[in-house]
Amino acid sequence: MKKTKIFFQLNIGWQLFSLFWLILSVLAGYYLVFSFLNKTWFVFLLLIFPFCFVLFTFIRFEHHRIVFLNKSISIPDDWLGMRSKIQFKTIIHYDEIEDVRIIWSEENSINERIPIQMPSSIILKPYIEIMCKDGKTKRIFVMYFTRKQKIKIIDEIKSRVYQSGDTRVFKDTLEIVDGAYSGGIII
């Protein structure tokens, strides 16, 4: 079986590049403010809060990932509260996969409505939906993955299903991805 493979939201190189510019801008801001005010505690407070916020956001983006293990796909839940959670922890075994598609839905990953007071309740969200042999569906939230990443994720799913001994024929990956964005939307 293949080794463990992890897909992160967006490109990790881009995230590291952004983190580099964040640190550089904080240092430049510190120098400018310190040279004008000469008050170390004020500069520290002024710069530490935005830095902590961006660092938390960076870590949160890294938490949203898709992990391909030897026998299953594992998706951790997001860090939002239970009422506003979009992605719940999901484990999908390769031998239970019947079909794969991309859908757009107002619901969360367990097919439940998000309370109306949440902004995410009215936005259509893209999911890779896995239809299982027992008739259940499991969803992977993929809003912040690029088109290229979605293609790689679906190809990886198909490859792992084939390696588990299943010889079923799936739709072409480009047909799955392009169909979801050109009117083949399932709500």
pLDDT in tens, 89-111: 999 999 999 999 999 988 888 88
Query: Using CA atoms, how far apart are residues 104 and 136, in angstroms rounded to an integer?
Result: 17
Look-up of token digits 């027992």: 134
- pLDDT tens column, 33-86: 666 666 666 666 666 666 676 677 667 767 788 999 999 999 998 876 667 788
The SS3 of residue 148 is helix
Distance CA 113, CA 86 (A): 10
Hey, CA dihedral for 40, 43, 49, 52, is it positive or negative?
negative
Residues 6+ apart with CB under 8 A from 19: 58
Res. 138 pLDDT band, cuts 50 70 90: very high
Taken as a whole, the chain contains a residue count of 187
For the question of whether the overall pTM of this predicted structure is more than 0.75, the answer is: no
Q: DSSP label at 181? A: T
Q: Give the 3-state secondary structure of residue 152.
A: helix
- At residue 76, φ and ψ (nearest 5 deg) are -75, 160
